[in-house]
Structure 1
């Protein structure tokens, strides 16, 4: 199977660039493992930036290599994506760096750092909540089970020394519950701007809680994968800067991923960077120099070769 896939990819990757390719298929089915000429990217919730970025990349890959069929799978987030990668039901996965560093039972390798996530704690605009500590004992949507959002939520709550009534709701269901007064806050880790939060801000006034010194505590407790950051004023109709924690998102493959596939993906990411960023503004952060900063997760050998050819 691996020899067959390699031969087909070699043929595909020498084809001239094409245009007008059919849109990539989006799916949540895992009935079949990836096969010859078929590439599977596991992304995230369709309302999130992971999914938008992955579907845009898939479209550009198919445009560059018309015989290549790229499928994007919806998921609950980083942890499920990495599980699919380990199981061999996906070729590529988008993952936050913190989850990736904990998922090394099967050797994984980074292709690139693509953009950063910023942690959102969304509350109603007219609520009296001012800090994470104010959520003690309240009902909170912490993210889907198996998501990086939930991983960070529990770390933050532990450092804050509080417990909440957890509801494992993703961003869409969580925001709907917030509007219906069924939860008091919604946690989300995503790029700025996240469309689901932006759309919610048009339906109801919202605020984002600042995290105070918790970002520094996250870094001290869990490592340099976390860094203090700020969501600038103006996003989500919020006039003030919101202090929060940020972390890198990576595109990841198994250690034994086909080298020609890795090269084709990286070439598409950087040759079509402006096109991808036009569809997904968070991709404006994608940069050759920062792409190699993947923390403790090593780069795939083909990625190293690609960056060396780019004089990095």
Structure 2
């Protein structure tokens, strides 16, 4: 089955779910609601959790909106669906969003998408078994490595780190395995891969569970922040995995990448302003299952780099925060 067919099936499933929700909840609010399809991520992942939480929060509001989460492979897939008009909203990592608006690989041309908010920061995780001889990214040469699912932002940042370490195409290249988070953890546990990359909030529940079951080590990646910023701009930042998450006894330096809530050009300004009102009112609920110890603030939310703010978002921030 082709990616396009899979995309159409996911969107159709989202619309079917929306129709059932409308039938069962038709008395909840006066008048029809404006439906906005939101490209999230795979079932069980953080984007999917954020999307479901946003749909619940908006559904309980009096905005006249309805959010329909659509499961996808995540960032790259989401930007393609948003640019193609299959969805009205999307979640994506900031580096992939900038690639889309600038027309950089893996996108063939610039995409007309806009940002509503920068929501939270992903931390790049690189795990190996605790008894592995691998002590650095360079030590992964020639080894099987889980680099994220096809169409995901994990795959983008993993590829850039590996190339920065001299492990791009050629004799030293890793044997990349395109696997989602659950499959990556299983492959590491079974010895089918020697390392796995993940980009997500801290802590990520699947990695917390994996660290309880199998002794693992987290390799530092902060040494690659400089080269990545030089190549791709300030979208990459230095962050740490703090103890005691994952059983760590000391911080591990790594790469941070923001996450954006995005919209297509055709989403009306009033819908964007109403949606953002819910986001800032209910941000604790939205981030509860995604990342810990952070809050969503306007000065953080408007930092969207090369991705322009939607006009409705710009008006929302000016009207509420000056």
TM-score (norm: length of structure 2): 0.84
Q: Residue 271 of structure 2 aligns to a residue in which SS?
A: helix
> Which of the numbers 6, 10, 16 marks the counterpart of 1:29?
10
Rounded Cα–Cα distance in structure 1 between residues aligned with 2:13 and 2:209:
35
Asked if 1 retains the 8 angstrom alpha-carbon contact of 2:124 and 2:200, the reply is yes
Structure 1: which 5+ residue stretches go unaligned? 1-26
Task: Please name the residue that 1:116 is paired with.
Answer: 121
String of CA shifts for 1:107-139, please: whole Å, max 9, x gaps: 111000000011000111222221111111100
The answer as to whether partners of 1:48 and 1:195 remain within 8 angstroms in 2 is no
Match of 1:158 in 2: 163
Contact kept? 1:28, 1:75, Cα under 8 Å: no
Secondary structure of the residue that 1:176 maps to in structure 2? helix
- Aligned CA distance change for structure 1 residues 243 and 93 (closer, same or farther; 3 Å): same
* Aligned-partner Cα distance in 2 for 1:81–1:265: 19
Choose the corresponding residue for 1:234, options 234, 240, 244: 244
Equivalent residue of 1:64, what SS? coil
Q: Is the 8 A contact 1:276 1:283 kept in 2?
A: no
C-alpha RMSD of matched pairs (Å): 2.1
Asked if the contact 1:96–1:148 (Cα under 8 Å) also holds between the matched residues in 2, the reply is yes
Q: Figure out how many residues of one structure are paired with residues of the other and give that number.
A: 286
Shift of residue 283, structure 1, vs aligned partner: 8.0
Deviations 1:47-78 (A, max 9, x none): 32222112111110011148644221222110
User: Partner of 1:71 in structure 2?
Assistant: 68
The Cα offsets for residues 1-54 of structure 1, whole Å up to 9 and x where unpaired, read as xxxxxxxxxxxxxxxxxxxxxxxxxx9722379797322111112232222112
SS in 2 for 1:189: strand
Q: Do the aligned partners of residues 66 and 269 (structure 1) sit closer, same or farther apart at CA in structure 2, a change above 3 Å counting?
A: closer
* Separation of aligned partners in 1, 2:68 and 2:74: 16
Distance 1:68 1:298 in 2: 23
Contact 1:139 1:167 in 2 (8 A): yes
Partner in structure 2 of residue 8 of structure 1: none
- Residue aligning to 2:215: 205
Residue from 237, 243, 254 that aligns with 1:244? 254
Q: Name the SS for the 1:178 alignment partner.
A: helix
Q: Is the 8 A contact 2:14 2:69 kept in 1?
A: no
Q: Does 1:142 align with 2:123?
A: no
SS in 2 for 1:102: helix
Unaligned runs of 5+ in 2: 1-7, 19-32, 102-109, 168-172
